[in-house]
Amino acid sequence: MTDPNSTPLIEVRDLVKHFGSVIALGGVSMKVHPGEVLCLLGDNGAGKSTLIKTLSGVHAPTSGSFHVEGRPVSFQSPRAALDAGIATVYQDLAMIPLMSITRNFFMGREPLKGFAPFRHMDMAHADTVTREEMRRIGIDVRDPQQAVGTLSGGERQCVAIARAVYFGAKVLILDEPTSALGVAQTSMVLKYINQVRTKGLGVIFITHNVRHAFAVGNRFTVLNRGKTLGTHTKDEIDIDALQNLMAGGKELQDLGAELGGTV
């Protein structure tokens, strides 16, 4: 297990973010250690996306402290966060469906060969890397030149994660990677998240689904209206208590009882 006394990869304290008169984050503190999955749970509008966009350099915080590996940071752009090793996989994935798996894997970071002004993308090398990286995660890509849109949703999520890992991410932020997936595809992505964790990366996993969170999470932070309702380790909390902590959890259980089953 992770050492709670080790220097966190990411730590924020009292993070506040206002959008005009809207208080999206009202003083959030959290940290992620190497080799752990921190799950960020919360209802719609709780502030999950705002928090990760602040961590990934999209928004500047209104106030609060932000440290990466013990050093204070203030990112001016997503590129700056990426250079510091914080990679975010958004739900829409930023992939181009008609472009090849290889092209999507290397987008913006193509390996070049030759000399200026005749430099061009080293496609053979890129294909080899792509096929090899996919093979590592158990996806057999026969032709890396096939369009990424021909892969399943789960496979595309895995490509996006593999791309971030290959390019040196230390912290991987996943915004609802399983929300659009069926059971088999979800389990593929959750297994891969766990594999990434065992390599020593820190993972922030955003989800609405307590079961998905519980399957891979080491700690759970519940956000509610821009504030944390606390962080719990896996042995401190069970799945029902976690469900209840989320806004609407109680209502859902009541609804389940009313409908004569569980929701």
Ligand X SMILES: Nc1ncnc2c1ncn2[C@@H]1O[C@H](COP(=O)(O)OP(=O)(O)OP(=O)(O)O)[C@@H](O)[C@H]1O
Q: How far apart are the first and last CA of the chain?
A: 33
Q: Which is nearer to ligand X, 48 or 156 (CB)?
A: 48
Interaction of residue 207 with Mg ion, rule CB under 5 A: no
Interaction of residue 54 with Mg ion, rule CB under 5 A: no
- Closest by alpha carbon to 90, among 192, 7, 5, 206? 206
Q: What is the DSSP letter of 61?
A: -
What would the x/- binding string for Mg ion be over residues 102 to 141, using CB under 5 A? ----------------------------------------
Q: Cα–Cα distances in Å, from 39 out to 18, 51, 160, 184, 221? A: 23, 13, 19, 21, 6
Q: Which is nearer to ligand X, 61 or 144 (CB)?
A: 61
Q: Which is nearer to ligand X, 66 or 106 (CB)?
A: 66
- Choosing among ligand X, Mg ion, none, which partner's interface includes residue 44 (Cβ < 5 to 8 Å by kind)? ligand X
Work out the angle between the directed axes of helices 153-166 and 123-136 (0-180°, nearest 10). Answer: 110
Contact set for ligand X, span 128-167 (CB under 6 A): none
Interaction of residue 49 with Mg ion, rule CB under 5 A: yes
Q: Which alpha helices (DSSP H) does 6-146 contain, by range?
A: 48-55, 78-83, 101-106, 123-136
Contact set for ligand X, span 21-80 (CB under 6 A): 22, 24, 42, 44-50
Q: How many other CB atoms sit within 10 Å of the CB of residue 243?
A: 21
Interaction of residue 197 with ligand X, rule CB under 6 A: no
- Give residues in contact with ligand X (CB under 6 A): 19, 22, 24, 42, 44-50
